Amino acid sequence: MKLHEYQAKDIFADAGIPVPESRLASSVDEVMDAVEDIGYPAAIKAQVHVGGRGKAGGIKIATSEEEAREAADSILGMDLKGYTVEQVLVEAGVDFKNELYVGVTMDRGEGKPVAMVSTEGGVDIESVAEETPDAIAREHIDPAFGMHPYQARKVCYEAGIPKEVALDVASILTTLYDLYESKDASEIEVNPVMITEDDEVVAADAVMNIDDDALFRQPELAEMEEEAYEDELEKKAGEYGFDYVRLSGNVGIIGNGAGLVMTTLDLVDYYGGKPANFLDIGGGAKAERVTHALDMVFSDENVDAVVFNIFGGITRGDEVAKGINEALEAFDEIPKKVVVRLAGTNAEEGMEILNTDLVEVEKTLEDAVQRAVQNAEEANQ
């Protein structure tokens, strides 16, 4: 579960991390009331779960009433990378001289959490990791013992953090790790940590993602779940019990099993297409679950074609095929071409059962993906 920036900052502030004064607003009038109380300059920031908000026009700095109103008008209701902005965070501007990155995530290769610090803050940290990996200092944490104070100081030293603020940055990092552990986070970061002219540190942004499987023991965070949903598709996925991630492409992907879906996603990219989503409908492929999955993918305006990749294990291929037929027959009109590939138990029987008036059938995953990519290309011609 991804928290919005304002939700994460509330948690950070309660834990003692310095954050700018801010107010949440959902209308132009509320923005104007907020900036009147907070003062100028003020940052007006779209609250959506996407990166690069600033470059996409989702963050603006206002130095006057006129600029604040113009920013609120342009950001509220805008389409930001496929998401409609319904709320903005109005935040006091920070006069800074430097920007840092501080974060904690799981290093699956090492099987341990890793703390990361960099002087290359305020930019896409993934790009920094790819282009100049030495610019990021890392320290692995043994979860049995937690982060020792010396480890926080060490990684700040190795990152080249100025000595005037090194202890304050180490304190932020230690607090982030404590939150990472106590709140069952899968990722937590501040990008950027701003250094002011007076050598104070301020968390100007906040990212905090929570392990969905741990929400049962995080009741306060579970209450934020409904508010954290970005749009109707994500909300539907939660209701249906699907693992769903919306992407920026136009080839819809449905499968039963995370590994199967990831393989399909990679192949779409390999054959020149762009995946529109990750959608794992889990074990079994009964008609109701298939109908829900297709409804979600068909509802995504970005999707031009769909590839359905199902492996029949405990659920036999002929049962899966019947489920797909029933699901598609429930639609008055099939809005986008659907390509199906079945494998596993009774796969051949299932392929024969599939209604080819409603779907296109391919024997191999490679052929199915190529057909779906071709369908998406033709839909855009």
Peptide bond before 41: cis, by omega within 30 degrees of 0?
Answer: yes
Which residues sit in the known binding site for Mg(2+)?
191, 205
The full DSSP string for 319-332 is: HHHHHHHHHHHTSS
Nearest CA to 260 out of 312, 324, 310 is that of 310
If we measure between CA atoms, which residue out of 72, 73, 68 comes closest to residue 35? 68
Looking at residue 103, the DSSP 8-state letter turns out to be E
- Helix (H) or strand (E) run with residue 56 in it: none
Which residues sit in the known binding site for ATP?
45, 52-54, 91, 94, 99
**pLDDT number for residue 285:** 61
Give the CATH class of 96-223. Answer: alpha beta
Lowest-pLDDT choice from 20-29, 176-185, 233-242, 260-269: 233-242
pTM: 0.72
> Which pLDDT score is estimated for 226?
57
Which pLDDT does position 116 carry in this prediction? 97
Q: Tell me: the pLDDT tens digits for 163-174?
A: 999 999 999 999
Task: State the pLDDT confidence band at 244, using cuts at 50, 70 and 90.
Answer: confident
Top-confidence residue, 184 or 301: 184
Residues annotated within a binding site = 45, 52-54, 91, 94, 99, 191, 205, 256, 313-315
Q: What are the domain boundaries of the chain?
A: 21-92, 96-223, 231-380
pLDDT tens digits, one per residue of 290-312: 888 888 898 888 899 999 998 87
- Chain centroid to Cα 333, Å, comes to 31
- Residues contacting residue 67 through CB under 8 Å, at least 6 positions apart: 60, 61
- Indicate the residue type of 124: D
Query: How many whole angstroms separate alpha carbon 37 and alpha carbon 202?
Result: 20
Q: Considering the candidates 5, 139, 189, 362, report the single residue annotated as catalytic.
A: 189
pLDDT of residue 256: 85
Instruction: Indicate the pLDDT class of residue 50, thresholds 50, 70 and 90.
Output: confident
Q: Please state which CATH class domain 21-92 belongs to.
A: alpha beta
List, for residues 249-290, the tens digit of each pLDDT value.
999 999 988 889 999 999 999 999 999 999 988 766 667 788
Catalytic residue among 5, 6, 83, 101: 101
pLDDT tens digits for range 336-374 = 999 999 988 888 888 999 999 999 999 999 999 999 999
Q: Is 244 a catalytic residue?
A: no
Active site residue 362: no
Residue 100 phi/psi, 5° resolution? -125, 165
**In the prediction, which pLDDT does 198 show?**
95
Q: Over the chain, what is the mean pLDDT?
A: 91
Q: Kind of pairing, strands 251-255 and 305-312?
A: parallel
Overall average pLDDT of the 74-85 stretch:
88
Q: Are strands 79-80 and 96-107 parallel, antiparallel or unpaired?
A: unpaired
**Hey, what are 38's tokens?**
């907070």
**Stretch 70-91: mean pLDDT:** 92
* Phi, psi (degrees; rounded to nearest 5) at 207: -125, 130
Which band of pLDDT confidence, cut at 50, 70 and 90, is reported for residue 229? low
CATH for the 231-380 domain, from 3.40.50.261, 3.40.190.10, 3.30.360.10, 3.40.50.1970: 3.40.50.261
pLDDT of residue 313: 72
* CA atoms 121, 125, 127, 131: torsion sign: positive
Q: Quote the CA–CA distance of 316 and 222 in Å, as a whole number.
A: 36
The pLDDT of 22-42, averaged and rounded, is: 97
- Please state, for a pLDDT cut of 90, what percent of the chain lies above it: 66
- Would you say residue 86 has pLDDT above 60? yes
Bind-site residues for substrate = 256, 313-315
In whole angstroms, give the CA distance from residue 273 to residue 348: 27
Query: Taking CA 312 as the corner, what is the angle to CA 311 and CA 316, rounded to the nearest 5 degrees?
Result: 160
55-69, 71-85, 281-295: segment of lowest average pLDDT: 281-295
CA 334 vs. chain centroid, Å, equals 29
Rounded mean pLDDT of 149-168? 97
